[in-house]
């Protein structure tokens, strides 16, 4: 089941061609996107997602995404969804057609959540650390690298996942060249140490996660300490729990890292999932 809405307020057939072959989003990955979780007809963290779409577009020097049109497209997809109670809603915004009049392309697409993600939510997953080839200051020093923008250029992220698979794992934890933890290719890393949640800072050139933020909000209210600070790879092995969070996967525990079994964090997972769900 899929539902496609365009920015002019119309629905379109996702099985028919909609994008021009010269679209810069297609031929250069030149554009931005968001993926939002919809549960029981309600989009989670819609404003933070739209704010992040704005920030990503600004980093790419694109025109600001038209918020009212995107909100209308979101409503249209949700209103026409007849599939499962949870689905993924993708917002895409590209620089438009090469040599065209500069009008961006945008759409909202509702999609079912894959069985693999649903299984990982329950069972957890194995991950490997992979060097992202950046250092801690690169994002500030080289803004043209668009570190921390949710751009459509995710080929590197997808290649990293294939490398993980070659190494017998399902996921990746990117690190800086000097061993500081960054994020997953499509997720935020969260570590649990006692009654403290820790995630690496976005100034390292990673995406500030809406799911991580929602969890930290709930956790802080429930008396946890929440820290946004650098994490060294070695610390992952000493933690009571290592989790990957994203809108669609929610909070997933890492059970094995670089072939080493991590402590059983299933009770912690339930606690964090309950905290996260208490936000909605
Ligand atoms: N980091 C990256 C690189 C991502 O692509 C994503 C989401 O897909 C996240 C983190 C998690 O963000 P969110 O929780 O807002 O989905």
**Residue ending a domain, choose from 89, 113, 137:** 113
Alpha carbon distance 39, 156 (integer Å): 30
Mutate to test the pocket of ligand 1, among 201, 208, 246 (most ligand atoms within 8 A of CB): 246
> Measured from the CB, is residue 35 less than 6 Å from ligand 1?
yes
Q: What is the pLDDT of residues 167-192, one digit of tens each?
A: 999 999 999 998 999 999 999 999 99
Per-run averaged pLDDT (10 residues), the chain, 280 residues: 97 97 97 98 98 98 98 98 97 97 97 97 97 93 96 97 98 95 98 97 97 98 98 96 98 98 97 97
**Residue ending a domain, choose from 88, 113, 138:** 113
Check which CATH number belongs to the domain holding 265 and give it: 3.20.10.10
Q: Are 31 and 96 in contact (CB under 8 A)?
A: no
The tokens for 37 are 């979780």
How many Å from the N-terminal Cα to the C-terminal Cα in the chain? 25
Residues 273 and 137 in one domain: yes
The structural domain count of the chain equals 2
Residues 137 and 252 in one domain: yes
Residues 102 and 128 in one domain: no
Looking at ligand 1, which residue's alpha carbon is closest to its atom 10? 187
> Measured from the CB, is residue 126 less than 6 Å from ligand 1?
no
User: Which alpha helices (DSSP H) does the chain contain, by range?
Assistant: 24-28, 46-59, 67-80, 115-123, 138-141, 155-166, 210-221, 235-238, 266-277
Ligand 1 atom at shortest distance from the alpha carbon of 185: 3
ipTM topping 0.90? yes
> Measured from the CB, is residue 199 less than 6 Å from ligand 1?
no
Question: Residue 152 belongs to what domain range?
Answer: 118-277
Check which CATH number belongs to the domain holding 87 and give it: 3.30.470.10
The tokens for 127 are 């991950």
> Measured from the CB, is residue 245 less than 6 Å from ligand 1?
yes
**Residue ending a domain, choose from 113, 137, 164:** 113
Give the start-end residues of each E strand in 103-240.
105-111, 125-131, 171-175, 188-193, 196-199, 225-228
Sheet holding 2-6, edge to edge: 11-12, 2-6, 105-111, 86-94, 31-39, 42-43
Q: How far is the CA of 15 from the centre of ligand 1 (A)?
A: 27
Mutate to test the pocket of ligand 1, among 247, 252, 276 (most ligand atoms within 8 A of CB): 247
Q: Are 110 and 12 in contact (CB under 8 A)?
A: no
84's CB contacts (< 8 A; 6+ apart) are 1, 112, 113
């Amino acid at each position: 089941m899929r539902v496609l809405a365009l920015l002019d307020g119309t629905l379109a057939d996702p099985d028919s061609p909609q994008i021009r072959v010269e679209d810069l989003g297609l031929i250069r990955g030149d554009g931005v996107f968001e993926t939002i979780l919809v549960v029981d007809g309600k989009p989670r963290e819609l404003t933070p997602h739209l704010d992040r779409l704005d920030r990503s577009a600004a980093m790419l020097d694109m025109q600001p995404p038209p918020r009212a049109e995107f909100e209308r497209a979101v409503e249209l997809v949700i209103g026409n969804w007849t599939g499962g109670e949870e689905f993924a809603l993708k917002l895409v915004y590209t620089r438009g057609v090469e040599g065209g009049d500069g009008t961006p392309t945008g759409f909202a697409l509702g999609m079912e959540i894959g069985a693999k993600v649903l299984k990982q939510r329950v069972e957890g997953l194995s991950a490997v650390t992979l060097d992202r080839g950046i250092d801690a200051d690169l994002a500030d020093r080289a803004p043209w690298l668009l570190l921390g923008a949710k751009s459509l250029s995710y080929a590197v992220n997808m290649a990293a996942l294939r490398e993980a698979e070659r190494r017998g794992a399902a996921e990746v934890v990117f690190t800086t060249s000097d061993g500081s933890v960054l994020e997953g290719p499509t997720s935020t890393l969260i570590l649990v140490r006692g009654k403290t949640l820790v995630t690496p800072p976005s100034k390292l050139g990673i995406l500030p996660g809406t799911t991580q933020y929602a969890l930290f909000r709930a956790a802080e209210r429930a008396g946890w300490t929440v820290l946004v600070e650098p994490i060294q790879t070695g610390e992952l092995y000493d933690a009571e729990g290592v989790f990957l969070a994203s809108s669609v996967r929610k909070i997933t525990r890492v059970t094995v890292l670089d072939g080493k079994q991590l402590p059983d964090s299933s009770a912690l997972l339930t606690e964090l999932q309950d905290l996260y769900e208490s936000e909605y």
